A and B are shown apart, each in its own frame.
Chain A
Amino acid sequence: MAGEPPGIARPGSRGLAVTRHTGGNGSGAAFLALSGTLLAAVALSISTGSVTIPLRKIADALLHGGDDTPARILLSLRLPRALLGVLVGGALASSGVAFQALLRNPLADPYILGVSGGAAVGALTVALFLAAGASPALPLFAFIGAALAALSVFLLARRKSGVSPERLILMGVVVGAFLNAVIMLMVTLSPPGKIPGALYWLMGDLGLGTPRRVGVLLPYVALGVAVLFLLSRGMDLLLLGDHAAFQTGLSVERVKTATYLTASLLAGSVVAVSGLIGFVGLIVPHGARALVGSGHRRLLPAAFLLGGAFLVISDTIARSASPAGELPVGAVTALAGAPFFLYLLRRNGGRS
């Protein structure tokens, strides 16, 4: 299991090659390959760590549980971390798909409209004024910050005639710049020692994946992804432009509002448990589009699977590759992901 590199490490190999054809059969094969990749990524992740656990023991612990040290390492450290990676990666990629459709912009990602800045201000507020280090209030405040920022961008961008992608992006940039200034001030004016914990946290970390956190995040991600999936036809039409979407009888503004709020809250809830992990929400949607085409009914699930697999593998690299201890997973997502997705996008002749 661990010896066999998962499909994602060799994208040219069988499974993914079929998916050049994005029609019915092709996308079926693509989903099979993506699901297999995700499973392989989780398997790789839970068989990697500083404690050596034999494969037989891993299988035994997964099937029958157990209370000895290896079983507890597997069940309460590695498995929750891998599952958290699946949820976070999948949610970021799904949210990225939604923002790219909503804003009709290939550069959109879950953080573009203030979510990251809001979450950071929320986290730093806890570190500065409540308790330094990893306070239990930190995720809550990060979520509140993200939701407030996303909401204010939306309200600022809205006019009587509705919201336009251009105004959303503009307001997102303005609110983001303002929040960045607030962050800089908070970091500069804070007494020494208060901030590092929060900053590390913001850099993105799956290390706090506990069974409880996975359980807390699961309903948010399940609900968010399900709502986005229900909106997938609406997103297809949004891509045609407001006018065309309107002509099909779609309530454009309602779809936009629902997409925006769902994608923002999805990103906010993920940020609250894992900090800011970049690159996944930006580039995985493009990778998934290259595999299954741009119809959202296929694209959303594909992006979820690919994002989950990608983040789990990145996290495995982050915690095992360096002799200097753990690396920030956000650095690995961009470092390892950029070449792979460049390959994927070029192979498809920029069709994405």
Chain B
Amino acid sequence: MTMRDDRGVDVRLPVSPRRVVSLAPSLTEVVFLLGRQDLLVGVTRYCNFPPTAASLPKIGGVSDPDVERVVSLAPDLVLCTTDGNPREKVRALEETGIPCFAVAPQDLSSVFATIERVGALLEAAERGRAEAAALRRRADRARSAGKGDGSPGPRVLFAVSTSPIIAAGSGTFMDEIVRLAGGRNMAAGYSGRYPRLSVEDLVAARPDVVFVAGMAGVERFPEEVRRWKEIPAFRDGDVHTLDGDVVTRPGPRLVAALEQVSAVLGAWRASHRESPGPGPGGSR
């Protein structure tokens, strides 16, 4: 079988794979979703979902996979990503004759497509299509739940770090999720993917809802930020923590994140339809 991967490389598999190594937590999740986890002989030390994935043999990290260890596992397919795994490491693996299939999902729909393609690679094409279709349906439902009555949705800050304040800007999955759920990402106007913001930037933008991508140590904003009651989200306590792994991994659980965000924004809409907030606010 031959399939073109996201690098544009035609990956040729002489036989259908029996020993697979995953170099990314998102791909490990995809393999489990497809029910093909019995093929996995190696994963990264960050692969912690589903929980049983953590007990599989480790081949190092995402940015520092141990090439020798991968080779020693004698895989007949390596699943990797273009924006996490170093190109040289993947090339080194390919030079030993191991086929490497690289994915580069940029948005939700390409995540779904990735599930279908990995399914086809692992002799689970049917299952892949079914799972992708189910996820698409859930995403559509969450999206229409988030879409309100046409009024502009809440202004949203999606923080990946609280000290310093670093927001998810345009080009991130978090930005897409906020948009699909009917919110307006206040950091979308910055040029970088992860702009660093000052407290004053928040006071100027006045986010109505704040999400924090919960990773070690970033869950809480310091008191000197929270005490700014000019920021509606802090005034009303509309600050929500989401699992950082779920919102940053281009895997199937992105849909769960979309559902959570959509539910929060839907609740915000419901409460603000009854009692319109204190004036239009906005940056002055």
B49 to chain A, nearest CB (A): 14
B170 to chain A, nearest CB (A): 11
Does A78 lie within 8 Å of B200, measured CB to CB?
yes
CB neighbours of A201 from chain B (8 A): 163-164
Q: Quick one: given A52-B284, A127-B217, are A196 and B161 in contact (CB under 8 Å)?
A: yes
Of A91-99, A108-116, A323-331, the stretch lying at the interface with chain B is A323-331
A184 to chain B, nearest CB (A): 14
Does B190 lie within 8 Å of A51, measured CB to CB?
no
Does A69 lie within 8 Å of B163, measured CB to CB?
no
CB neighbours of B244 from chain A (8 A): 193
A196 to B244, CA, bound (A): 14
CB neighbours of A268 from chain B (8 A): none
CB neighbours of A324 from chain B (8 A): 190-192, 195
Nearest chain B residue, comparing its CB with the CB of A52? B284
Does A197 lie within 8 Å of B200, measured CB to CB?
no
A324 to B169, CA, bound (A): 9
B271 at the interface (CB under 8 A from A): no
A131 to B216, CA, bound (A): 9
Partner of B217, one of A49, A132, A326: A132
A93 to chain B, nearest CB (A): 25
Most chain A CB within 10 A, of B161, B197, B224, is at B224
* B residues 167-211 touching A (CB-CB < 8 Å): 167, 187, 190-192, 195-201, 203-205
A196 to B200, CA, bound (A): 22
A193 to B46, CA, bound (A): 11
Nearest chain B residue, comparing its CB with the CB of A70? B284
Nearest chain B residue, comparing its CB with the CB of A211? B224
Does B161 lie within 8 Å of A197, measured CB to CB?
yes
Does A134 lie within 8 Å of B163, measured CB to CB?
yes
A323 to B191, CA, bound (A): 6
Does A192 lie within 8 Å of B46, measured CB to CB?
yes
A154 to chain B, nearest CB (A): 33
The majority secondary structure among interface residues of chain B is loop
A78 to chain B, nearest CB (A): 7
A116 to chain B, nearest CB (A): 19
Does A197 lie within 8 Å of B196, measured CB to CB?
no
Does B215 lie within 8 Å of A193, measured CB to CB?
yes
Does B197 lie within 8 Å of A197, measured CB to CB?
no
* A residues 111-154 touching B (CB-CB < 8 Å): 127, 131-134
B149 to chain A, nearest CB (A): 30
A196 to B213, CA, bound (A): 14
Does B217 lie within 8 Å of A325, measured CB to CB?
no
A187 to B197, CA, bound (A): 25
CB neighbours of A50 from chain B (8 A): 198, 200-201, 203-205, 283
The majority secondary structure among interface residues of chain A is loop
CB neighbours of B224 from chain A (8 A): 208, 210
Does A197 lie within 8 Å of B203, measured CB to CB?
no
B240 to chain A, nearest CB (A): 18
CB neighbours of A205 from chain B (8 A): 164
Interface residues on B, range: 20 to 34
A196 to chain B, nearest CB (A): 7
Does A51 lie within 8 Å of B283, measured CB to CB?
yes
CB neighbours of B162 from chain A (8 A): 133-134
CB neighbours of B187 from chain A (8 A): 325
Does A69 lie within 8 Å of B203, measured CB to CB?
yes
A193 to chain B, nearest CB (A): 4
B222 at the interface (CB under 8 A from A): yes
0/1 string, A26-63, CB within 8 A of B gives 1: 00000000000000000000000111100000000000
Nearest chain B residue, comparing its CB with the CB of A68? B230
Q: Quick one: given A50-B201, A193-B244, are A69 and B195 in contact (CB under 8 Å)?
A: no
A289 at the interface (CB under 8 A from B): no
A261 at the interface (CB under 8 A from B): no
CB neighbours of A208 from chain B (8 A): 224
Does B222 lie within 8 Å of A325, measured CB to CB?
no
* A residues 323-341 touching B (CB-CB < 8 Å): 323-327
* A residues 164-200 touching B (CB-CB < 8 Å): 191-194, 196-197, 200
Nearest chain A residue, comparing its CB with the CB of B202? A50
A141 to chain B, nearest CB (A): 15
Does B203 lie within 8 Å of A51, measured CB to CB?
yes
* A residues 184-233 touching B (CB-CB < 8 Å): 191-194, 196-197, 200-201, 205, 207-208, 210
Contact sample, A vs B, 21 pairs, CB 8 Å cutoff: A49-B198, A50-B283, A132-B216, A132-B217, A133-B217, A134-B162, A134-B222, A191-B216, A193-B215, A200-B163, A205-B164, A207-B164, A207-B198, A208-B224, A322-B191, A323-B191, A324-B190, A325-B167, A326-B164, A326-B195, A326-B198
- List the interface of chain B (C-beta within 8 A of A): 46, 161-164, 166-167, 187, 190-192, 195-201, 203-205, 215-218, 220, 222, 224, 230, 244, 283-284
Further 19 A-B residue pairs, CB within 8 A, beyond A49-B198, A192-B216, A325-B187: A50-B201, A50-B205, A51-B283, A52-B284, A69-B203, A73-B200, A133-B162, A133-B218, A134-B163, A191-B216, A193-B217, A197-B164, A200-B164, A201-B163, A322-B191, A325-B192, A325-B195, A326-B197, A326-B198
Lowest 9 A-B CB distances belong to which pairs?
A132-B217, A325-B195, A324-B192, A134-B163, A193-B216, A133-B217, A193-B215, A50-B204, A323-B191
- List the interface of chain A (C-beta within 8 A of B): 49-52, 69, 72-73, 77-78, 127, 131-134, 191-194, 196-197, 200-201, 205, 207-208, 210, 319, 322-327
